[in-house]
Structure 1
Amino acid sequence: MHEFGKSIIIFLDELRRSIKWLAFLVVAVTAALFLVSGDLLAFFRDHLDEKLHFFTVAGPFLAHVKVALFAALYLLMPLCMFILWKALGKPFAVTGKRLFVYVFFTCLLFYSGTLFCYLVTLPFGIKFLLSFQTEDLQAIISISRFVNFVTLFILAFGLVFELPVFMVFTVQVKLLTKRFYEKNRRYAILAIAILAAMLTPTPDVFNMALMGVPLYFLYEAGILLIRFLLPDTSASVAGDQGP
């Protein structure tokens, strides 16, 4: 436990060194992308067969800022992942080629998750929500709420799709073991169901499944990757005391 606490301190210290200039870069890229934020907003509106409205004077301006910020984070995600993995790798001696592999596959899964959300989950979710409209009950959609909904939802999908990489990492650095993940599948299913209920746009089973099923397959893919990449990892750790 003492070693784990020491590793956390090293990780946070390494992260602190890079976070300031990363924040400056995010602000700079956001400012640049603000110039095309109108086109980006129109790109998101492709899934919405409705007009957007605003209810405060600053509403449209803030919506464009949020879209530009989302685009900046989306474009800078490889750099963000490099900084994160560099900080994570320092206390666990993950450097060089291994560090590059973690960054590469984390970014690959992140962008795969965001595309899956934009092309599959988001259209179904929005269509379901708007299906309750009638002639007497018409949607008046706030541009601010719409931007918040779409951008946060896409980012959430991208982040949860990175699950297999972090599973492999925890086993490689001996924080957890392959046996831990194999023994706790039922708890993983419960956690995935709760996460899907929180992150999907509607509470119906169909839309929850659009996130939950791929996420469970990613969990199983993580176990398979651990078996293939780390076949000799069998050391017991504190976290392997599953029921």
Structure 2
Amino acid sequence: MNTETRTQIIVFLSELRRTIKYTGLSLILVTVGLFLYSNSLIPLLQDHLGEKLYFFSVAGPFLAHVKVSFFGALYILMPLLTLVLWKSMGKAFGVEGKSLAGFVAATCALFYAGTVFCYLVTLPYGVQFLLGFQSEDLKAVISIGKFVNFVTIFILAFGLIFELPVFMVFSAKVGLFSRQTFERNRRFAVLGIAILAAVLTPTPDVVNMALMGCPLYLLYEVGIFVIRLMGIEKRV
């Protein structure tokens, strides 16, 4: 790691530390507020399940409601969290003004697009496939805690991986990688996407992996296209 990169990381962490107290406080307050309505949030996640949920410890339902409330707070506050992150990164790497606003807007849009895609497309298919192994002698008894963990982490993961084009463009803009680098390494990108889809999808079948892998590769190509469109041609 060279001196310039080390300095950029230090500046980024320093800027992030200045706002983390207020961001954390906002997260706590929204979580508490959503906890009051968490009885309405869990049915939204349970919509694709079609099965009753059970708990196996005294604190099980309470913890499940806390997790759902915290996830909901993250979801609602994503624009704020994104703004804090990009302002810190912009300060460190010299990205500001309209470029910074563009990164914030694109990050929020892609995050919400990924979560909606997961909730409406990938999650229903995955849950249906997994529950398809039930029989007269083998019935599902699903823990509310594990179900909430599974659904929220899966939706959040989809939202995060949909950010791929944003960070591709950012890395090209600050000189970490060039468009030519991304173009030359398409085959490695395909391999990485296939591995990621196999790890993150709830089922090992090809269709479910394709539901994650195909959009992700399309986003990879979108990232290359946007870099070209913006005229970021610096070779690294």
Q: Indicate the residue corresponding to 1:93 in structure 2.
A: 94
Shift of 1:57: 0.4
Report the Cα distance in structure 2 between the residues aligned to 1:66 and 1:81, rounded to whole angstroms: 21
Q: Indicate the residue corresponding to 1:14 in structure 2.
A: 15
Q: Indicate the residue corresponding to 1:80 in structure 2.
A: 81
User: What stretches of structure 1 move > 4 A for 4+ residues in a row?
Assistant: none
SS at match of 2:98: helix
Write the mapping of 1:192-211 to structure 2, written as runs, cut at 5 A.
192-211=193-212
Report the Cα distance in structure 2 between the residues aligned to 1:91 and 1:32, rounded to whole angstroms: 34
Write the mapping of 1:32-111 to structure 2, written as runs, cut at 5 A.
32-111=33-112
SS at match of 1:13: helix
Q: Indicate the residue corresponding to 1:146 in structure 2.
A: 147
Deviations 1:13-36 (A, max 9, x none): 111111121111101100000011
SS at match of 2:134: coil
Structure 2 gap segments, 5+ residues each: none
Report the Cα distance in structure 2 between the residues aligned to 1:194 and 1:18, rounded to whole angstroms: 35
SS at match of 1:134: coil
Q: Indicate the residue corresponding to 1:129 in structure 2.
A: 130
The letter of the residue matching 2:168 is: M
Shift of 1:216: 0.3
Shift of 1:201: 0.6
Deviations 1:49-106 (A, max 9, x none): 1000000000000000000000000000000000010011012211122111110011
Report the Cα distance in structure 1 between the residues aligned to 2:21 and 2:203, rounded to whole angstroms: 37
> Could you state the TM-score of these two structures normalised by the residue count of structure 1?
0.95
Report the Cα distance in structure 2 between the residues aligned to 1:48 and 1:131, rounded to whole angstroms: 11
> Could you state the TM-score of these two structures normalised by the residue count of structure 2?
0.98
Q: Indicate the residue corresponding to 1:3 in structure 2.
A: 4
SS at match of 1:47: coil
Q: Indicate the residue corresponding to 1:241 in structure 2.
A: none
Report the Cα distance in structure 2 between the residues aligned to 1:235 and 1:146, rounded to whole angstroms: 46
Q: Indicate the residue corresponding to 1:240 in structure 2.
A: none
Report the Cα distance in structure 2 between the residues aligned to 1:88 and 1:225, rounded to whole angstroms: 20
SS at match of 2:136: coil
Shift of 1:45: 0.9
Percent identical among aligned pairs is 61
The letter of the residue matching 2:99 is: R
Report the Cα distance in structure 1 between the residues aligned to 2:24 and 2:151, rounded to whole angstroms: 23
The letter of the residue matching 2:200 is: L
Greater CA drift, 121-130 or 4-13: 4-13
Shift of 1:234: 3.1
Q: Indicate the residue corresponding to 1:223 in structure 2.
A: 224
Report the Cα distance in structure 2 between the residues aligned to 1:61 and 1:150, rounded to whole angstroms: 17
Structure 1 gap segments, 5+ residues each: 238-243
Report the Cα distance in structure 2 between the residues aligned to 1:216 and 1:228, rounded to whole angstroms: 18
Write the mapping of 1:137-216 to structure 2, written as runs, cut at 5 A.
137-216=138-217
Q: How many residues align?
A: 235
Report the Cα distance in structure 2 between the residues aligned to 1:97 and 1:234, rounded to whole angstroms: 19
Q: Indicate the residue corresponding to 1:236 in structure 2.
A: 235
